[in-house]
Amino acid sequence: MTQQTAVVTGAGSGVGRAVAVELASAGWQLVLAGRRAGPLHGTAELAGPSAAVAVAVVPTDVTDAAAVNALFAAAVARFGRVDLLFNNAGTFGAPTPVEELEIDAWRAVVDLNLTGAFLCARAAFRQMKAQSPQGGRIINNGSISAHVPRPHSIAYTATKHAVTGLTKSLSLDGRPYRIACGQIDIGNAATDMTAAMSAGVRQADGRIAVEPTMDVADVARTVRHMAGLPLEANVQFATVMATAMPYIGRG
Active site residues per annotation: 156
The values of phi and psi at residue 94, to 5°, are: -75, 130
CA distance 34 to 89: 8
CA nearest neighbour of 129 among 176, 171, 165: 176
Nearest to 205 by CA among 237, 242, 246: 246
Percent of residues in the chain assigned helix, strand, coil, to nearest 5: 45, 20, 35
Please tell me the distance from the alpha carbon of residue 156 to that of residue 121, in angstroms, as a whole number. 19
β-bridge partners, 76: none
Distance CA 20, CA 4 (A): 13
